[in-house]
Structure 1
Amino acid sequence: MVLENLITSTTPLIEAPDVYAKLKQSGTGLIALLAYPGKGSAEILTRTTIPTIRKSQKNDRIRVGIVGASGFAKAMHLPNLVRLKNKFEIHAIMSRSGHNALEVSRQFNAQYATTDYEEMLSDKDCDAIIIATRHNLHADQVVRALEAGKHVLVEKPLALNLDELRCIEEFYQANPEGPLLLTGFNRRFSSHARVANELAEARKGPFILNYRMNAGYIPLDHWVHGEEGGGRNIGEACHLYDLFTYLANSECVDVQASAITPASTYHSRNDNFIATLGFKDGSVATLTYTALGSSLHPKEQFDLYVDGQVVSMNDYKSTVVTGRPRMGVSTKFASKGQYEELVAFGNAINTGRDWPIPLWQQMQASKIAIQIEKLISGGLH
């Protein structure tokens, strides 16, 4: 038997689902080859749009394009958008891989899938963009989406350096009534953070906040440590700089940081450090961020000392207030605010009212991260 005689077709990988369906039909052949895109086909692939089954519908929901169908987007943003189907419509999926874009668009019933970001930006039916790509792509993709008139929710970090932040600032200086921008600093939207903020807003004087992040070890050859990720301080700890800014609601006037000196190449300075922030209102917040700890210990904890009370949060599952016992909150699972963040994003677009996070606070948290990166890297960034 000659194997070649059994092959009925050779098809691009992105059309794999259609091929499988055809092979299930009797009499249509035994073998189909899937052609993986090589280096020479990358340019063609980026221009490929893969239409899905559902036809376009007109409604009053916010039509969202997902840029970067990553594991996080598939596990967090897309399921939450489905939960909020009365507010959002998953309009389009964009991914570097045409196959991934097609699969995700079918799974979540999007209008279409594409590998071309420009196609999504030029789509007049797309109201908002959620960016979940590698960190080094965020700032450029944000600016391009804003220039196209799209509201933007971008996963943290907003940018990796001051030049990228400056481009975003310059956009809003030229377009003060421009589209909404929301960086994915979701911790502040958690019910646990809201308990702390209720006391912080009513305080009569400054507070002291100690935050501990038992971040867990990530091998140093992982992308998050490299140029695509910008490191764990900029890529993850920025969450906490935003939380501190949220609670203080004040300008950060002093930034200090110290990192360990690793005994081997196994650990890094950049994910083992202590940062201290001083705010104009007199409040002080410290972050202990480390990859040296045990996974058996809680990942995130903080204690907020304010006006004779102490707010103690444990892994976004339990928050107790010593001095105000009825103010605590308990959740069955870690509640870090991703769902509530999307609700706030949708409400702000629909009402045109205040942004969920003021631009100055998004910028401040990002600038703090960049400044701390310089301090813990010996000024190399």
Structure 2
Amino acid sequence: KIFYEKELNFVVSRAWGPGMYDPQYEAGKIDYPLPYVRWTAQRNMEHFLALLADGRVTVDHLITHRYPIEQAVSAYEMIMSSREPVIGVVLQYPQDPDPARTIRLGHHDRQSASAAQPAGGKDLRPRDPVRIGLVGAGLFAKGTLLPALKGVHGAALHAVATSSGVSGSHLARRYGLSYATTDTDALLSDPDIDLIMILTRHGSHADLVAKALHAGKHVFVEKPLALDEAQLQQVIEAYQETPGQLMVGFNRRFAPLTAFAVSRLTRVSRPLIVTVRANVGYIAPEVWVHDPQQGGGNIIGEVCHFVDLIQTITGFQPTSVYARPVEASGDGIIAEDNVIITLSMADGSIGTIIYTALGDKAFERERVEVFGGGAACVIENFRTLTWSSAGRHKQVGSILSGVDRGHRAEMEALITALRTGQPFPVTFESYISTTRATFAAIESLRTGMPVAIG
């Protein structure tokens, strides 16, 4: 009331301004239009730095102490002790005009020399050990892939490239790598590296795969292979023009229970009915996986696992895809994260994927059911498998055993192929089929119609 009667304005300063915490602004570098927002976080900082440069704003009188960064602990101790008046404390970094992008930590000697590169075709020279260059060192790399690689015969982690030198050097020291770098080209041009493993966000996969193949490397890339047809064509051209082999991280096809199921199903008449249910839990819309450029959404980035799994179980590729989402009713529900996708396979089999973020994360994540030729097979969360045929039942695994989605077996298959000079265990055409099936699912959601895969 007092503000109203006196026509007072109350202004509160903001440290950054509009754009703070907006991923499209911060990471995507998409600025707000000037007529809409005059002072964004970037414009605030640009104007402040310009005022400093012109001498119209001075801060020297606010700085009471300066410490080299090596003495940062002493600086904080001084502040906390209150021994002397403190206003501003500056931590000074070395003024290196050309800081090194690579930190060298050690050296690995190759145990055996490779034969000369054969003319034409894919490079099937044996490597032992297989020297690996990592691109990316996020949670998946640290928590899943590197533990799966540990102890695999012939695998030799050689170097890592990350956007942050701190995370890369920490990982390099932990795993005994030769060097860490923020320059991906340093890995691609390193003649000692045989295999590039791409573990970055989805949007960068296709370009990095193409560059690594053109650099003469073999490539392992986490799913997905590409986010759209243009990216996929980039990969196809690079693969066809170069001798390197390519493997995509569809690990579930390597799970022991998948292998058991496939061995039994080879004796079952076709067609099959395959259902895969994935209870993934809610992922907020602002998370990067939903960003069209960084993540591509969960159908392209996650459902691809289950398309590949159905291909593995049936032994055939999909010919058409039909997808239906839930009717989103607000409350942050993302229609694309709650879908039923039907795959028509080339042998007449049908695969259905139920993918939902509406369930309880505490409930089992995945269930696979296969029916055909008088037999039935159920895989419960890659812990147990039940096989039923002719009135008899066989159970493999135990609910007390850990979940095994095939990461370790996948790494063993990859390294063994390179050590022994064999083709990679999954065909390139299979990866193309899986990727295009996810694109078709997106198109089917848009049109409401089945989409053929050419």
- Place the TM-score, normalised by the shorter chain, in its bin: 0.7 to 0.9
Which of 165, 181, 193 pairs up with 2:246? 181
- Would you say 1:73 and 2:125 are equivalent positions? no
Matched residue of 2:422: which SS?
coil
Name the CA shift for 1:35/1:161 in 2 (closer, same or farther; >3 Å): farther
Q: CA deviation at 1:10?
A: 3.0
Tell me which residue corresponds to 1:307: 373
Q: How does 1:232-381 map to 2 (within 5 A)?
A: 232-323=298-389, 325-326=393-394, 328-330=396-398, 332-378=401-447
Distance 1:216 1:309 in 2: 31
Name the CA shift for 1:199/1:127 in 2 (closer, same or farther; >3 Å): same
Matched residue of 1:152: which SS?
strand
Which of 107, 111, 125 pairs up with 1:55? 107
Q: CA deviation at 1:80?
A: 2.2
Deviations along 1:186-224, one digit per CA (max 9) or x if unpaired, are 000001111221133222221001111111001010000
The answer on whether the counterparts of 1:191 and 1:329 sit within 8 Å (CA) in structure 2 is no
Deviations along 1:70-123, one digit per CA (max 9) or x if unpaired, are 111011122222222x31111001110011111110011100000101000000
Letter in 1 for 2:168: A
Tell me which residue corresponds to 1:25: none
The answer on whether the counterparts of 2:343 and 2:350 sit within 8 Å (CA) in structure 1 is yes
Structure 1: runs of 5 or more not aligned: 21-30
Q: CA deviation at 1:374?
A: 2.1
The answer on whether the counterparts of 1:217 and 1:291 sit within 8 Å (CA) in structure 2 is yes
Tell me which residue corresponds to 2:117: none
- Would you say 1:203 and 2:268 are equivalent positions? yes
Distance 1:32 1:329 in 2: 60
Letter in 2 for 1:221: E
Name the CA shift for 1:3/1:366 in 2 (closer, same or farther; >3 Å): same
The answer on whether the counterparts of 2:154 and 2:419 sit within 8 Å (CA) in structure 1 is no
Matched residue of 1:93: which SS?
strand
Q: After superposing the two structures, state which structure 1 stretch, 71-80 or 228-237, moved more.
A: 71-80
Tell me which residue corresponds to 2:26: none
Letter in 2 for 1:10: I
Q: CA deviation at 1:239?
A: 0.3
Name the CA shift for 1:257/1:165 in 2 (closer, same or farther; >3 Å): same
Deviations along 1:244-300, one digit per CA (max 9) or x if unpaired, are 111222231121110011110511111000000011111000000000111232110
Tell me which residue corresponds to 1:193: 258
Q: CA deviation at 1:326?
A: 3.8
Letter in 1 for 2:137: A
Which of 148, 152, 172 pairs up with 2:215? 148
- Would you say 1:221 and 2:282 are equivalent positions? no
TM-score by length of 1: 0.86
Matched residue of 1:83: which SS?
coil
Matched residue of 1:262: which SS?
coil
Distance 2:101 2:149 in 1: 25
The answer on whether the counterparts of 2:251 and 2:407 sit within 8 Å (CA) in structure 1 is yes
Structure possessing the higher radius of gyration over alpha carbons: 2
Distance 1:149 1:325 in 2: 50
Q: CA deviation at 1:36?
A: 12
Residue-pair matches, total: 351
Matched residue of 2:69: which SS?
strand
Distance 1:36 1:372 in 2: 53
Percent sequence identity is 32
Letter in 2 for 1:89: A
Distance 2:186 2:362 in 1: 46
Letter in 2 for 1:199: R
Name the CA shift for 1:151/1:224 in 2 (closer, same or farther; >3 Å): same
The answer on whether the counterparts of 2:210 and 2:239 sit within 8 Å (CA) in structure 1 is no
Distance 2:194 2:186 in 1: 13
Matched residue of 1:235: which SS?
helix
Distance 1:221 1:262 in 2: 17
The answer on whether the counterparts of 2:388 and 2:394 sit within 8 Å (CA) in structure 1 is no
